[in-house]
Chains A and B, each alone.
Chain A
Amino acid sequence: MDKEVICLSCPNGCHITVQETPDNNYQFQGAKCERGEVYAYEEITDPRRVVTAVVQTNSEEMPYIPVKTDKAIPKRYIKTLLTELYRKKINLPAKCGQIIIQNFMDTGVNVVITRTFPLDFLR
């Protein structure tokens, strides 16, 4: 059966038709570059997303701090990850890039803080 994947590797947004061949391989049509095929293969076999959220802190001035996964995480882990993030509480100061969860559920994905607070910490 054909499946359509919209490539998100770049703003082109190629519509790629993916056809599964009898020998369990895939054929791709519509990708303007090879990144598209790689993307479509992954989207069919192991879809991943970057997750961004905010996590509670111990500061009144900055009650929540933004975080992201440093790589895309398999979609099936997103719910578990969000639950863990909502339960977390971070002590400030915190620095952009600081890892708060390492190798989440052995996915190789870390969760990092994306905003430094307080700012004079930068100096």
Chain B
Amino acid sequence: MNSKVYDVAIIGAGCCGASIARKLSAYEISVILLEKCVDVGFGVTKANSGIIHAGFHHPLTSLKARLEIRGNLMFDQLHYELGFPFKRVGIIVVAFSVEEMKTVEHLYAQGVANGVPRMEICGRERILSLEPQLNSDVVGGLYAPTGGIIEPYRYVFALVESAQKNGVDVRTHFTVEQGIKDGDYWIVKSREGEEIRAKYVVNSAGLFADEVSKSFNAEIYKIIPRKGEEFLLQRNARGLPNHVIFPVPGAHTKGILVIPTVEGTLMVGPTAIETDDKYDIETTSQNLETVFMQATYMVPAISRREIITSFAGLRPTLKGNDFYIEPSKIQPHFIHVAGIQSPGLTASPAIGEYVKDILKQEGLQLVEKKNYDPFLPHPIKVRELSLEQIEQVVEKDPKYGHIVCRCENISEAEIIEAISKGHTTLDGIKFYTRAGMGRCQGAFCTYKILKIVSRETGIPIEKITKRGDNSWIIFKRLQALAENTPET
């Protein structure tokens, strides 16, 4: 087989892989980003809570704390360059007892040591003035104004788009099955029967990093999925806070959070339960109870009547709970980026940098691209425009005037743009544009989007999927019954 040759192949297009790809796109090297799903960001990242942590949760002795703090600082620039939604709304940790206040003091000290700017310890009055919706039993807490929120999938879409713009190849539906050393090159083979060659391989395969490592005959380790369930409540939900609200953390988790999402909905969760099934993304009624009990303890006004959807995701954890980012000691030119659990999203920009440095140390020649363009054009979003601005864009393209998703105010033109960027599944379009993400959950727009996708791509309706593989939406057309008589 005549396979294409690259300097670096990155396995896994989650927030880490995408960030690494974008970082490397600034250099005169050839890079390919490989993803097993139908779209990028569809693995672990998709179900991430979207918190940009301030950096007070972990001691500096851990790699993840160092990358978290560095990563947090990088988001303003990334937001400026790429335009994904990002707000530094600030993080509040709430304490409900004198004992919990001790933990708050510990977090504060740790944060100060880590260099987290502008943190405060708040008394009851101060914390209630910041967040009037809190349970009035609150004793006090911690306020870290540099914490923020993003939409994780749109962050990944933007990173990948920017990487592509600067020459990175992206291949979806490429499930890495085996890596074979052939001289200076790795031959990377996919289950789908394709292969590529690369001098360096970065393993940022999330939940499957252990299997990828094994298939390259590199280190043996075990990724332990830790499941988190989240519940999304409608726009303008009761109890919508101003900041991200954390309880005082437990041993392995930061607890159940109350999150004002960057798009104005309210999210509560996640749970943290270890599982041995990498495909277990079921939600349970028991965890719904747990999440709401804890969330409403902090913010009593939150109502489960306002839930619009729920979902679960898996954090890829390693024993020891730190990130594992280093070159293989067994296989040359194979870099592990594994165990990237919380605060992986926050750390991801720094991980991109860190992996670039590792590759350099490992002998990859990095010459800066002269024509590197870090900026992406900011896509037009009708929901964010004034009437006068909408008037202008509709004049240029009347499809901006056709509102397809009434709940989130998404126009046909925005959907066409998502499709043109390669997002041709319903979930891809949903995550790119928000169409179908609102209160009706697609009841009013699914048929419209199906038709737009089919018209723009030529994919027959029956072949359009929710998120690739066997996730078909339409069984067949009515006209097919002309040949095939129904049983009645």
Give the B-binding residues of A (Cβ under 8 A).
Answer: 54, 56, 64, 78-79, 82-83, 86-87
Contact = CB atoms under 8 A, between A and B. Distances in A.
A59 to B, nearest CB: 13
A78 B485 CA distance: 12
B481 interface: yes
A73 to B, nearest CB: 13
A117 to B, nearest CB: 17
B458 to A, nearest CB: 15
Interface string B427-457: 0000000000000000000000000000000
B454 to A, nearest CB: 12
A83 B478 contact: no
Interface string B359-396: 00000000000000000000000000000000000000
B488 A78 contact: yes
Interface pairs A-B: 4 shortest CB-CB? A86-B481, A79-B488, A87-B482, A83-B485
Contacts of A78: 488
B486 interface: yes
Contact of A64 (B478, B482, B485, B486): B478
Chain B CB within 10 Å — which of A82, A83, A86 has the most? A86
Nearest to B480: A86
B42 to A, nearest CB: 32
A53 to B, nearest CB: 9
B479 interface: yes
Interface of B: 478-479, 481-482, 485-486, 488
A107 to B, nearest CB: 17
Nearest to A56: B479
A79 B488 CA distance: 6
A56 B483 CA distance: 13
A81 to B, nearest CB: 10
A82 B488 CA distance: 9
A83 B483 CA distance: 9
A82 B487 CA distance: 10
A86 B488 contact: no
Given A56-B482, A83-B485, A86-B486, 5 more contacts: A54-B478, A78-B488, A79-B486, A82-B488, A86-B485
A56 B488 contact: no
A1 B165 CA distance: 79
A64 B477 CA distance: 11
Nearest to A81: B488
B461 to A, nearest CB: 11
Nearest to A88: B482
Contacts of A87: 482
Contacts of B479: 56, 86
A79 to B, nearest CB: 4
Contacts of B482: 56, 86-87
A83 to B, nearest CB: 5
A34 B482 CA distance: 42
A83 B481 CA distance: 8
A83 B150 CA distance: 53
A86 B478 CA distance: 8
A64 B481 CA distance: 13
A61 to B, nearest CB: 12
Contacts of B486: 79, 82-83, 86
Contacts of B481: 86
A44 to B, nearest CB: 21
Contacts of A54: 478
Contacts of A79: 485-486, 488
A77 to B, nearest CB: 11
A82 B481 CA distance: 10
Nearest to A86: B481
A56 B478 contact: yes
A1 B78 CA distance: 80
A79 B486 CA distance: 8
